[in-house]
Structure 1
Amino acid sequence: MSSLFLTPDRSKSKKAPLGGSKQASACVAWGHFPLDHAPLSDEAAYALIDRPTDQLLAPAGALRDKGHGEAVSFSKKVFIPLTQLCRDVCHYCTFAQTPRKMPAPYLSIEQAVEIARRGAQAQCKEALFTLGDKPELRYAAAREALDAMGYDSTISYLVDVCKAVFEETGLIPHVNPGLLGREDLDRLRAVSISQGIMLESASERLCEPGGAHYGSPDKLPAARLETLRLAGEAGVPFTTGILIGIGETRRERIDSLLALRRLHRRHGHIQEIIIQNFRPKPGTQMAKTEPPSLEEHVWTIAAARLIFGAEMNIQAPPNLQPEALKQLIDAGINDWGGVSPVTPDHVNPEAPWPHLNALAEATKRAGKTLVERLALYPGYVRRMQQWVDPKFHTRVLQATDGQGLAYAGEWTAGSQVPPPSNALLWTGKTARSPQAVGELGSILRRAQAGRALGEAEIARLFRAHGSEFAAVCKAADEIRAAVNGDTVRFVVNRNINYTNICSYRCQFCAFAKGRGAEDLRGKPYDLPLDEIQRRVLEAWERGATEVCMQGGIHPSYTGHTYMEICETVKQVVPEMHIHAFSPLEIWQGAQTLGMPLKEYLQRLKQSGLSTLPGTAAEILDDEIRAVICADKVSTGQWMEVMRTAHAVGLKSTATIMFGHIEGYEHWARHLLLIRELQAETGGVTEFVPLPFVHMESPIYRKGRARRGPTFREALLMHAVGRLALHPHVPNIQASWVKMGEAGVEACLNAGANDLGGTLMNETISRSAGASHGQEMTAPRMEALLRSMGRVPRQRSTLYEDVPEAIQLRAREARAPIQPLQPLMRKHVKREKDVSLA
């Protein structure tokens, strides 16, 4: 192992004594640190050694806030001590035992699974395997136990235990087995989501007689750094860190941190840096050694943050400084590590884990919000294809949100599960009025002034938690109040999905019926024209001013079909507003006739088409579309249809269907395209967030998608949509079908001002598993809005007032006649060149 991995370049350190270079010295002395993504140079890092702790706190905290906002994370885990035998004799350790003190050298697979099962019942997601380093090389009892079980090494046994725990409980293994070669790293990568080894210290001096690591061959810095290097080559997300107070100097701590930074810069595999404080334990050689002071701990955390920069995860275990959690946060940590509601900390048994409610409260008192993560940090979750064995992909996807944190709460779009109470508190009328500061405050002020935000700024808004989340919702609601007042509008309409037969293979769609394995429940249908007319007439009698019509892409449909449907509606109710045909249907219709988009849209308008639903957008990013709807219109084609429709005088809505495989950066790109479109054409009437309903979706059932957005994310889409699209899009709509009544109330306190349509026959969301009903009548909608203290107003599709006589029909409407299905129509084949005159 090259000395490059042990200490920084000594020539540099000699040139930078405690005062460092003039530039670095001045920088540190005045507390001026770079707050972009460029961390300190090696020279500037050594200049920290003599700097007072209080000079480091503000810049370290600012860097942490830049990279992680208000969130401080933890992993809910169980601790599985597979063996406490170890060939090392670290002078501070009580974890390692001798065979005579243990009932058996190893836990059995059944014992490990039972511990994990208790963790699963407590909603843990991580199984942390901790074990001594290669005990079979020291103890005959370990060798004999492995032989009896049919294994040649502790690592071989660990591989099988990890498999059993994951397969039987769903808990995802993280392993800390000590020094590893490349072959063992690869074997463990296949059965664990992440691995770890504490460097503890890069000081070889501590391995000499009298040092804390004397007699412990696996604590040689070169050996541990070699394991870290090999882990990087193997593409293993890795946890590491340093242990302070075991006899090292500040300079040696900087040596250690810089050695780790060099490895991470080369491979990008270090997930977190743990700054752990030594605690003396009775019965050890270091029992009477003074522990490091809190100030030393805080200084080291701040130095680590400044050395690694904004993005790195810096952790301190909360059970080792239980009275100083605020100080640890102020120093720059953004993570508490693994916390178990089930098992003790076997490495520090004298220090019980804090109760999670108490930890959340302590984190809140420090001005931050506790959030749950997996053993795999969010940045690696978002790049699973690179970092994680495929067998874990489904479990990770279905356990995480769009940021890569653990999915919070039980609420899902379209379900009857009530929203989490904390999110409702943040957005209610009696909620606190938080004032956003720093970067977030600057972003919100620019948005409220109507200035365009960048992709990174919009993505930052989506990462808001706790009081930051409340501040985003509040800022959006202030715009809503200024633009729309307390009036909430809705349209009385009827959905007519004229066919569910579709030749496309959108991976998220549970509505369409076609050939092959994509088919789900329900039978195919294709409504005859007289059935469409019957439903239109019934809707008109019930006070509807709009029919919203979309369907599958039937293989027999041509551009003529869509014109014929419009003409059919107008024949029976000329006054009915036809809100119909997604950009995909428009594109397909024009293609079948070989007609330019503009000409085809003009023909549809002549046939009676009034406005377009801006659906088929899903996520306007071709990276995502290639996965969820590869044969659908591209982002550019969707935008082309919308621009052309607006140019011929057809206004439209704009939608986003979110919460499946995409991330916050994709949401930001989508919003920027909608803003660009509206600034250019002015043709968008409202923005409609559509949370992904996962239950019956093919992509979810195949294990390739998340379970929709969390409630926090769903609210933020309405709030951030308002902020990012201001002042161009005046209306933000909340879907009662997907959000439920409590959900739409929260949305109306987070920037939304519209409840969309009464629907009468909603089938697409229900096909995917939504359970909020097929209709919300006008009286019910009005009563709901009045109970919220809002002013309900029935509107037309184009946000015009509706005559009182029609409103009266809507209020007195009887229940609709349920349509008969399946119904099929026959299609007349037409040639592309048939005259449309």
Structure 2
Amino acid sequence: MTRAAHLADHLARAEADPDGLEDEAYVALLGADGEELDALAALADTLRRDAVGDQLTFVANRNLDTAVVRDPDHAAELVDEAWALGATEICVQGPLPPDVPARAPLDLVALITGRVPLHLHAFRPAEVADAAARLGLDARDFLVAARDAGLGSVPGTAARILDDGIRALLTDGTDIPAARWTELVTTAHEVGLRSTATMVYGHVETPAEQVAHLRALAAIQDRTGGFTEFIPMPLLPEALPPGLRRVADRGCGDPGAGREQCRVARTGGAPDARETRALYAVARLLLHGRIDHVQAAWPKLGPELTTAVLRGGADDAGGLLLDGAIDPAAGAEAGRQLTLPQVEALARELGRTPRQRTTLYGDAVPERQAVLRA
């Protein structure tokens, strides 16, 4: 059987049983191109419509770095400004500063959620572990304390690829083990905190490792039901760790380049549009019936590719990332704000209805929608 015939067979079976294929079939679909890729994207778009309808959802949010714990008054100013701009969510992530009191993370939660009725989405798994250790607590007790102080959900970011060898390459050996990431996210779900699920792709991983990562997320969701959405994010060249950047600069022929690093050298560290479209589509298939929402990582994809993945499996535009005027650089993705007119124009182009959602995918209350539109 030819490669094209194999792909046609996988697509036919996926139409009947999207999440029931064997790993080898998903790996093959990740390599789809041309007409096969278009057919894969069309199938993923049909599944998207069946799962969530013809809406383009988005959330009005503001990112803050955990460094704001150093200055509670400034943090309060930023929260007040976000609220005035129409935000319904504050997202706080980043390594905790080493010189702050042990209770600083919990105090920040209380400050933010006690000030205005925003949803606080905060603390990646490694930051949960760090904050708990500073307080002499286990992770579960810290998460319970944070939940009781007002924490609404946790970012399932820094998942990268759930393979320890890859994680070590991407962070020069500083990342928490994949099993620890899984444990911490699962614990958050168990104490009633939902989370996102993520993948950073397009670096040293193989298609088989991408499928294994999706399987790992699916297994967590089967146990806990705690993931709200899946967000695939390409690794951009500027985010490569120094060791892999040197390999990319020198090329695959360098004596120090192993099999994995050769891919970085060929791509420059950034996946192409074909790979991105295939990954978003396969994620929609494999996670079908488990995670309804697939978010287009627009700050990393750019407008054209964002539109492409929203036509091939993705349904959510993510956060507007409101910067404000007081301190626009106080959070990640500063300067990459998405405006309400841009979301509405994108929805029209896609033939969908824009819907302002909450963090947990409910409808934003009319009063907050009115503030955002003012």
> Normalising by the residue count of structure 1, what TM-score does the alignment of the two structures yield?
0.40
Matching residue of 2:169: 627
Stretch moving more, 667-676 or 449-458: 449-458
Q: How does 1:409-448 map to 2 (within 5 A)?
A: 437-438=5-6, 440-442=8-10, 445-446=13-14
Asked if residue 759 in structure 1 is aligned to residue 321 in structure 2, the reply is yes
- Which of 99, 103, 112 in structure 2 is aligned with 1:556? 99
> What's the counterpart of residue 571 of structure 1?
114
- Asked if the contact 1:450/1:727 (under 8 Å) is kept, the reply is no
The residue type equivalent to 2:216 in the other structure is L
Structure-2 change in CA distance of 1:476 and 1:717 (3 Å):
same
Q: In structure 1, what is the equivalent of residue 188 of structure 2?
A: 645
Q: Per-residue deviation at 1:544?
A: 0.5
Whether the 8 Å contact between 1:660 and 1:709 is mirrored in structure 2 is: yes
Partner of 1:712 in structure 2?
Answer: 274
Alignment partner, residue 796 of structure 1: 358
Pairwise CA distance, 1:441: 2.8
Aligned to 2:204: 661
Whole-Å Cα distance in 1 between the matches of residues 162 and 317 of structure 2? 23
Q: Does 1:703 align with 2:271?
A: no
- Specify the alignment match of 1:683 in structure 2: 226
CA contact (8 A) 2:155 2:196 kept: yes
Take 2:24 and 2:98, find their aligned partners in 1: how far apart are those partners? 41
Q: Quick one: structure 1 residues 642 and 457, their matched pair in 2 at CA, closer, same or farther if it must change by over 3 Å?
A: same
Residues 11 and 40, structure 2, Cα contact 8 Å, conserved in 1:
no
Once the two structures are TM-superposed, the CA of residue 448 in structure 1 deviates from its matched residue by 5.1
2:52 aligned with 1:490: no
1:455-509 per-position Cα deviation (integer Å, ceiling 9, x unaligned): 322221111111111121111111001111211100000011133xxxxxxxxxx
CA distance in 1, matches of 2:15, 2:130: 37
Once the 2 structures are TM-superposed, how far is the Cα of residue 443 of structure 1 from its aligned partner? 5.4
1:203-352, aligned counterparts within 5 Å? Answer: none
Are 2:321 and 2:333, in contact at CA under 8 Å, matched by a contact in 1? Answer: no
Query: Does the CA contact (< 8 Å) of 2:10 and 2:29 recur in 1?
Result: no
Q: In structure 2, which of residues 361, 368, 372 is the aligned counterpart of residue 806 of structure 1?
A: 368
User: What percentage of residue pairs aligned between the two structures are identical?
Assistant: 36
CA distance in 2, matches of 1:438, 1:666: 21
Structure 1: how far apart are the matches of 2:150 and 2:44? 36
Provide Cα deviations, 1:33-66, integer angstroms capped at 9, x if missing partner. Answer: xxxxxxxxxxxxxxxxxxxxxxxxxxxxx2xx3x
In the alignment, which residue of structure 2 is the partner of 1:617?
159
- Over 3 Å counting, the alpha-carbon distance change for 1:527 and 1:557 in structure 2 is closer
For residue 733 of structure 1, what is the amino acid of its counterpart? Answer: Q
CA distance in 1, matches of 2:124, 2:169: 20
1-side partners of 2:298 and 2:81: how far apart? 23
Quickly say closer, same or farther: Cα 1:732–1:619, change in 2 above 3 A. Answer: same
How does 1:476-487 map onto structure 2 within 5 Å? 476-487=44-55
Counterpart secondary structure, 1:695: helix
Structure 1 contact 598–648 (Cα < 8 Å) conserved = yes
Instruction: State how far apart, in whole Å, the 1-side matches of 2:300 and 2:41 are.
Output: 19
| Structure 1: unaligned runs, 5 residues or longer | 1-61, 71-436, 500-524, 768-772, 813-837
Structure 2 counterpart of 1:752, one-letter code: A
Work out whether residues 659 and 709 of structure 1, in 8 Å CA contact, stay in contact via their aligned partners in 2: yes
TM alignment of 1:388-399, pairs within 5 A: none
Q: Is the Cα–Cα contact under 8 Å of residues 14 and 285 in structure 2 kept in the other structure?
A: no
Instruction: Give the total of aligned pairs.
Output: 349
TM-aligned CA distance change 1:666 to 1:559, over 3 Å: farther
> Aligned match of 2:144 in 574, 588, 602?
602
Relative to structure 1, the CA distance from residue 444 to residue 640 in structure 2 (aligned partners, 3 Å threshold; closer, same or farther) is farther
Quickly say closer, same or farther: Cα 1:494–1:448, change in 2 above 3 A.
farther
The Cα of 1:756 is off from its aligned counterpart by 0.3
Cα gap change, 1:786 to 1:589, in 2 (>3 Å): same
The within-5 A match list for 1:156-195 is none
**Paired residue for 1:742?**
304
* Structure 1 residues 765 and 560: CA distance shift in structure 2, 3 A: closer
Rounded to whole Å, the distance in 2 between the matches of 1:745 and 1:439 is: 24
Q: Secondary structure at the match of 1:591?
A: helix
Write the distance in 1 (CA, Å) between the matches of 2:279 and 2:194. Answer: 22
- With over 3 angstroms needed to count, the CA separation of the structure-2 counterparts of 1:688 and 1:558, relative to structure 1, is farther
**2:252 corresponds to which residue?**
none
State the Cα distance separating 1:447 from its structure 2 match: 6.5
Deviation at 1:719, TM superposition (A): 0.9
For residues 89-134 of structure 1, the C-alpha deviation after alignment (integer angstroms, 9 at most, x for no partner) is: xxxxxxxxxxxxxxxxxxxxxxxxxxxxxxxxxxxxxxxxxxxxxx
- The change in CA–CA distance for 1:528 and 1:558 in structure 2 (over 3 A counts) is closer
Q: What amino acid is the match of 1:622? A: D
**Per-residue displacement from partner, 1:389-448 (whole Å, max 9, x unpaired)?**
xxxxxxxxxxxxxxxxxxxxxxxxxxxxxxxxxxxxxxxxxxxxxxxx545533553475
Q: How big is the shift at 1:580?
A: 0.7
SS of 2:73 mapped into structure 1: helix
Runs of 4+ in structure 1 displaced over 4 angstroms?
762-767
Partner of 2:120, secondary structure, is: strand
Q: How has the CA–CA distance of structure 1 residues 788 and 596 changed in structure 2, closer, same or farther, with 3 Å as cutoff?
A: same
Cross-structure match for 1:193 = none
Q: Distance between the aligned counterparts of 1:638 and 1:671, measured in 2? A: 14
Q: Does 1:456 align with 2:24?
A: yes
CA separation in 1, counterparts of 2:170 and 2:350?
37
Give the C-alpha shift of residue 722 in structure 1: 0.5
Distance 1:607 1:526, change over 3 A: closer
Partner of 2:260: none
Change (3 A) 1:626 1:531: same
Could you tell me how far 1:729 is from its partner in structure 2? 0.4
User: Is the 2:19–2:285 contact (alpha carbons within 8 Å) kept by the matching residues of 1?
Assistant: no
TM-score normalised over the length of structure 2: 0.87
Whole-angstrom distance in 2 between the partners of 1:675 and 1:449:
16
Distance in structure 1 (CA, Å) of the matches to 2:211 and 2:247: 25
Question: How far apart, in 1, do the equivalents of 2:289 and 2:66 lie?
Answer: 36
Take 2:270 and 2:21, find their aligned partners in 1: how far apart are those partners? 25
Measured against aligned partners, the alpha-carbon deviations of 1:695-722 in whole angstroms (never above 9, x if no partner) come to 3544354335442111111122211111
1:99 is aligned to: none
Deviation at 1:783, TM superposition (A): 2.4
